[in-house]
Structure 1
Amino acid sequence: MDILEIRKQFPILDQQVNGKQLVYLDSAATSQKPIQVIEALDRYYKEYNSNVHRGVHTLGTKATDAYEGAREKVRKFINAKSTEEIVFTRGTTTALNTIATGYGRENLKAGDEIVISYMEHHSNIIPWQQVAKKTGATLKYLPLQPDGTISLADAEQTITTNTKIVSIMYVSNVLGTINPIKEIAQIAHKNGAIMVVDGAQSTPHMKVDVQDLDCDFYTLSGHKMCGPTGIGVMYGKKALLENMEPVEFGGEMIDFVDLYDSTWKELPWKFEAGTPIIANAIGLGAAIDFLEDIGLDNIEKYEHELAQYAMQRLSEVEGITIYGPQHRAGLVTFNIDDVHPHDVATVLDVEGIAVRAGHHCAQPLMRWLKVSATARASFYIYNTKDEIDTFVEGLIKTKEYFTNVF
């Protein structure tokens, strides 16, 4: 695996920011796009831009074939049983809201429990808060261990026979924690609950097998895995999707409309109202081709090496606190003593280094960490150890700057 050759396929990386070579360390927010994805979007709009499913003309047929071909690529990528279980959405947030509204509101009642964790992204908290308010169900939180991991003993204690839904992120966007989803799903099912997985941070970086995990729903976002923005996936087991009502109506999801009642198309189209996200689905298919050419096992191994190298280098800098477990996905979240994370990110940007600063859409986790915000460097297949060295040098300059100023 030649990282330098891989980097050449990302045009955006070949530029200077503030007179310095760009070092992009914000892939947990959104990944950059390889030329193959950019060209797939360009080709669709230049050569066969058309609506899908409705027309019988040549362009419509080509567009439909490419759109449904992308669905099959997603199915294989996460090892779903059928394309009927693959619903295209605008992203993970839309998918989680669809599950919470379409399944949660229809199936929960007072006395039922929803279990999530303190590390969840807001997109996996707020929808369940709303469901609890509407249904009278109770929202419960899995506690975290001091290093930011989930104990299966705590899961056994928190998930009860009253629990109907467990919704947990596979990989934390703040801590880098890789959660034991398969084992948590087993505990959920033992108690009669369904298992929902936020896969936004896992799908781009490791091999995912929804059948092996035995999760009931799985969600992902294309823009974090080298695909376009505005496209994601809601995977659901067929039996659950068949018994779940859509939350948007009109266009593609319609079968028959009468004056006072209507019927829906079969799966998966009953959940894809309006004109589908055609171009971006095709772009997601191209992103999957790109990632599979490299190999998800290779990506995971390489990113683990980058994360461990980054933690080792950061530990050499006095006054830095790193959050999360030793074994982690490819990101490092940290703070520098007496320097606000936004100031860290601002100074690093002057050096051409892009990192994220703030609460990372995880305010309950920030309170658990007893901080208001953190800085985060997140890595992907196009990053190098030399870039991590540049990043650490930038942090040292940041420390020196604020020491001299104050």
Structure 2
Amino acid sequence: MSREGLEELQLERLKKTVKRVSRVPFYQKAFKEKGIEPGDIKSLSDLKNLPFTNKQDLRDNYPFDLFAAPMSDIVRIHASSGTTGKPTTVGYTRKDLENWADMICRGLTAAGGTKDDVVHVAYGYGLFTGGLGLHFGAERLGASVVPASTGNTTRQLMLLQDFGATIIAGTPSYALYLAEEGIAAGVDFKKLNLKAGFFGAEPWTENMRTQIEEKLNLTALDIYGLSEIMGPGVSVECPVQNGSHIHEDHFIAEIIDPDTGEPLPYGQQGELVLTTITKEGIPLIRYRTHDVSALLPEKCACGRTHVRMQRITGRNDDMLIIRGVNVFPSQVESVLLEFGETEPHYLLVVDRKGELDNLEVWVELSEKMFSDKIKQLEGLEQRIRAKILSVLNISVKIKFVEPRTIPRSEGKAKRVMDRRELKNSIF
């Protein structure tokens, strides 16, 4: 679709969405405070006049007060996997689920997926949106779905071999864990049928992509989403691997300055903000994702015209601040994977000595490096420390640990241990 045609469609759908949410008490109040009425939206540029929505707003309206459809029309409820407080709940009408399946199906098709494929879904099922999102999208494609979910890695490796999966979906950290366990068990991934993988739910780097592609012998593609907006499939990377295509006929994307809230131009990095324009169950206006990205408007080499988003580099609300320096775990990961002498498993340990914060990076050695001489390890430690200093402009301590000692995750990888919080706790 041409940009002109797409923007006309977006405006038409935005007007309907604003009218729909104006029946929700939360938005009634928010619009009144901003002095906005549904009829004031006459162009896409008017979007910036609408209020933001935050995750806390969903928590404050728990469980269903942000729903814009009656419960008789809600056919499924998902919830976030938050670790504190009550979860954020989202509701889907039947049309919402159809649209969601279509978006996943588009991504699978872009990667060459057909009804002849076998899709192994290693995302968690249940209240988490990952598993069911990929499941129904693959079914919409007509493919055979293996609802493996998470856990029982030995069994998953068996299924990958016996069922002949051609596409796999899961978190990138679990993909590496699968590869690691498979190689240890003697699995030759070059003999499997895997051709593509859709990985998301946590930030990952180009270096991590390379590791996954080499170990699993497939094309690794980024898939982005969040339960509040829809789930996985808000954007999906094509095989060009130059940013994920946002499904702009369903969402309007903005990049804002996280401090001022002002929109930023294409290509500039900031906080991703999304507005749903077809969702019926719980449409959200200018939802602040806190994910750090940039928008790329140029037409992709694959021919698609939807704007692309750069790979998420971190979150502006959970980044580490060490001695005044902003640090994202993905930045450290990118450095570690450049060396090829460590495993792609690490832990950032933040501590406070007196009034000074310190960052210690626990790095898991490869089997080969673990048996090397101390002098060689000292050289590797110095090189990693120097590289992190050049990238982050902060000195860190490197601690090498034995292979397979850093805890593995079958869901989202836990990359940070902040001991500053533990020391401030009365427990």
TM interval, short-chain normalised? 0.3 to 0.5
**Greater length-normalized contact order (CA 8 Å, ≥ 6 residues apart):** 1
TM-score by length of 2: 0.33
TM-score by length of 1: 0.35
Bigger fraction of residues in helix:
1
